[in-house]
A and B are shown apart, each in its own frame.
Chain A
Amino acid sequence: MEYLDFELPIKELEEQLDKCMVIGEESDIDVTDTCKQIEKKLVQTKKDIYKNLTAWQRVQLSRHPSRPYTLDYINALTEGTFLELHGDRSVKDDKAMIGGLGKIGDQSFMFVGQQKGYNTKTRQYRNFGMANPEGYRKALRLMKSAEKFGIPVVSFVDTPGAYPGIEAEERGQGEAIARNIMEMTRLKVPIIVIIVGEGASGGALGIGVGDKVLMLENTWYSVISPESCSSILWRSWEYKEQAAEALKLTAPDMKKLHLIDSIIKEPLGGAHSDREKTFATVRDSILTHFEELKKLSPKDLVNQRMDKYSNMGVYKD
């Protein structure tokens, strides 16, 4: 288990608890009360820390190395039914963007999402979750295929951004994202988007237009990462905390601004602290929203989606 800097008091107490239990097992001293006290303190400390997270701390949590990634969600939700589908039919198969079909209960869904790696080797293989144009085009191909057969789409967003590479530019990164955004606004099947980690800018929105856009509690979504924002506006990397606050990038902020539809609660300690519970909550959330969306005709669905995006923005008339 890895700990973030602000989680160190938790680490300390957990270590104390472990020691206490070891003493209890290896000696005759009765440590039940001591252990109980430490446990109580641990729960309280966790509550205190996670109730008052700053924007920057949530950004840190969204990047926690133990956090579940897109494939973890898909595998848990589809219980062995997931069939991964590859390739954009033009250039290659982008490993940073995955997709495929699977069932939640009796209902088939088309899943797309950015995939990060869990160690150095797989992180490189997944290009740190930064998709190339091929990735966006693969996702679009799968979504169009879903539309053809009336299958709803679930999109998992977790990316530090679309890849800023030479080949990416040659093959039209901007065009690929633009095309996806436009096609997603008029796709004739329900789209449920879930931000499960990082939602960085156009790279996120490229698979992020939906009837329901949900954010897990400890994720972020904005037009730029706090680090890059700091480097551009403050001309230094040192102001990432202020930038994170200024950007209003947390789930509660995004909900308040009416830019997302709802927030999915995470277990105390973050999504990674109790994966099964996280998967169960996400599953319930998808099914609840799908029940609501499946009642709409394709026409109403698209109109409602277009209206939703048309109303985004704040200005003086």
Chain B
Amino acid sequence: MAWFKRKEKGIQTSTEEKKDTPKGLWYKSPTGKIVESEELAKNFYVSPEDDYHVRIGSKEYFEILFDDNKFKELHPNLTSKDPLRFEDTKKYVDRLKDAKAKTGLKDAVRTAVGKSKGKNLVVACMDFSFIGGSMGSVVGEKIARAIDHSIEKKIPFLMISKSGGARMMEAALSLMQLAKTSAKLAQLAEANIPYISLCTDPTTGGTTASYAMLGDINIGEPGALIGFAGPRVVKDTTGKDLPEDFQTSEFLLEHGFLDFITHRRDLKDKVNHYLDLILNQRLRA
């Protein structure tokens, strides 16, 4: 027999008296593991129980990579125009307005320079939350200028890709950003300045077909989707079942397109360790 007995049937508390759980207090990973938001942030936004790497943006990556979260943002005021007056079910200008309002960002990449373990590093980091991290004119120009900064000041360049590919609403203009950024990377290479490409979830389409695959080293985050054609397109075109780990970081490592996979907690160390080795300078602790 139960020791507790409800005196009146049903729940009698009125809605106003019920206590609310604040939103965003907990994070649930795809395998169902639950973690407190604050703990998640302390753990580099990786779910501690299953090592699931939560999708994060430039704000979090800068915080992880730059010493004391101190950095100078490069060209923060570049914004998109609508040269094609593109309209599908929605006007491109409205999409831009909504994305800006929703994310507080100006476009899908932020570029910055700052100290990482005491030495300068230029970082360009894409934001997936801004129209799927799609690459249009602004993304191309900001990356190009960040590379110019690297060349001018002789600072290594780290690109963090997180993108669905080229931005359809800028059509061929966005396609040409592949050539524009690749041309700049060729100049960076001629200047013998190291370029590290970090592929995060997801890195697909035009991003993969340009800067994401052109690093002196290409590295990936665990479990990230990395590929040229999207998995659904591959499945529909070939009519074949896809291998289980198809287009994951692990798959790319196995097929020879990544140098290594790094847990986000080790990212800062690994990047700087590589730089110390390739530049033949004293190892930083």
By a beta-carbon cutoff of 8 Å, the part of chain A in contact with chain B is: 162-166, 168-175, 177-179, 181-183, 185-186, 201-202, 205-206, 209, 221-224, 229, 232-234, 239, 242-243, 246-249, 254, 257, 259, 305-306, 309-310, 312-317
Closest B residue by C-beta to A162: B228
Interface centre among A162, A166, A313 (most CB of B within 10 A): A313
Q: Report how many residues on chain B are interfacial, defined by Cβ distance under 8 Å.
A: 64
* List of B residues within 8 angstroms of A242 by Cβ: 88
Q: A168-B229, A169-B247, A172-B257 given as contacts; is B168 within 8 A of A223 (CB)? A: yes
Q: A164-B234, A172-B256, A174-B209 given as contacts; is B168 within 8 A of A314 (CB)? A: no
Query: Are A174 and B227 in contact, CB atoms less than 8 angstroms apart?
Result: yes
Q: A205-B179, A233-B168 given as contacts; is B234 within 8 A of A312 (CB)? A: no
By a beta-carbon cutoff of 8 Å, the part of chain B in contact with chain A is: 77-81, 83-84, 86-89, 136-138, 140-141, 144, 166-168, 170-180, 182-187, 190, 205-206, 208-214, 227-230, 233-234, 237-238, 240, 242-243, 246-247, 251, 255-257
Q: How many A-B residue pairs have CB under 8 A?
A: 190
Q: A164-B228, A246-B84, A259-B173 given as contacts; is B168 within 8 A of A181 (CB)? A: no
Query: Are B180 and A309 in contact, CB atoms less than 8 angstroms apart?
Result: yes
Query: Are B88 and A246 in contact, CB atoms less than 8 angstroms apart?
Result: yes
Question: A164-B234, A233-B89, A312-B140 known; 12 other A-B pairs, CB under 8 Å?
Answer: A163-B237, A165-B234, A178-B208, A178-B212, A182-B182, A206-B209, A223-B170, A233-B168, A259-B173, A310-B180, A313-B136, A313-B177
Q: Measured between C-beta atoms, what is the minimum distance from A317 to chain B in Å?
A: 6
CA distance A243 to B169 in the complex (A): 10
CA distance A142 to B65 in the complex (A): 41
Interface SS of chain A: helix
* List of B residues within 8 angstroms of A316 by Cβ: 78-81
* List of B residues within 8 angstroms of A173 by Cβ: 209, 228-229
Closest A residue by C-beta to B78: A315
* List of B residues within 8 angstroms of A183 by Cβ: 186
Contact of A257 among B83, B178, B179 (CB under 8 A): B83
Interface centre among A178, A242, A247, A310 (most CB of B within 10 A): A178
